[in-house]
Amino acid sequence: MEKGFRLPNGTRIRLVEGDITRIPADAIANAANAALAGGAGVDGAIHRAGGPDILRELDEIRPRVGRLPAGQAVATGAGRLPARFVFHAVGPVYRDGRHGEAEALASCYRVCLEMAEERGCRSISFPAISTGVYGYPAEEAAPIATAEVRLFLESRAGSLREVIFVQFGEAAYRLYERLLGESGLQEAQD
């Protein structure tokens, strides 16, 4: 399943249901953890598909940055993934929504978009950060992700032409489809 939306300035938001490791993009955002040590979920899938080079790079970064706070990200190469970079973003662990979770989640998207621009990327893909192991309710996380991406594309996009939301499973895909569909964006036909 897949759908595209066009912004007035010609940039695009693409929505895809599937495995983020199989979808080509200049940069792939990862839902990592503070230890940058790999893990389950999409993090595990990215390390499995990308191969050991990614963890080797993280081994070098770790001593410099220590434990990475929620809302921040570091960049590595993408190993065997169909991408140039992986941005390892640390999402917030969801407690009750009153502990800065929304701002930290928004920051994950913003920081990754900025990192993509800094590296001249044309496209970046995102999983639904924090909505798995970290327990962020998908319906609360989705409007934060889409609003942050839209704001960035509308106001700050340079090299970046396309942001891809990769949703795992039909329910997550439908949630984004509804949100983006109701946002007044034009659906792209190609």
Give the residue numbers marked as catalytic: 43
Among 33, 107, 123, 146, binds ligand AR6 (CB under 6 A): 33
Closer CB to ligand AR6, 31 or 180, in the complex: 31
CA angle 157, 103, 137 (to 5 degrees): 105
Q: Which two tokens mark 158?
A: 């340079």
Site mask for ligand AR6 (CB under 6 A), range 93-132, x = bound: ----------------------------------xxxxxx
Q: What is the DSSP string of 77-93?
A: E-TTSSSSEEEEEEPPP
Our finding on whether 21 is near ligand AR6 (CB under 6 A) is yes
Return the axis-axis angle of helices 41-50 and 53-65, rounded to nearest 10°.
120
Beta carbons of 131 and 141 less than 8 angstroms apart:
yes
Cβ neighbours for 141, distance < 8 A, ≥ 6 positions apart: 105, 128, 129, 130, 131
Decide: 110 and 152 in contact? Cβ < 8 Å.
yes
Which residue, 107 or 157, is less far from ligand AR6 as judged by CB?
A: 107
Shortest Cβ distance from residue 171 to ligand AR6 (Å)?
10
Which positions from 43 through 62 interact with ligand AR6, judged by CB under 6 A?
Answer: 43, 45
- CB closer to ligand AR6 out of 55 and 151: 55
Q: Footprint of ligand AR6 on this chain (CB under 6 A)?
A: 19-21, 31-33, 39-43, 45, 91, 127-134, 166, 168, 172
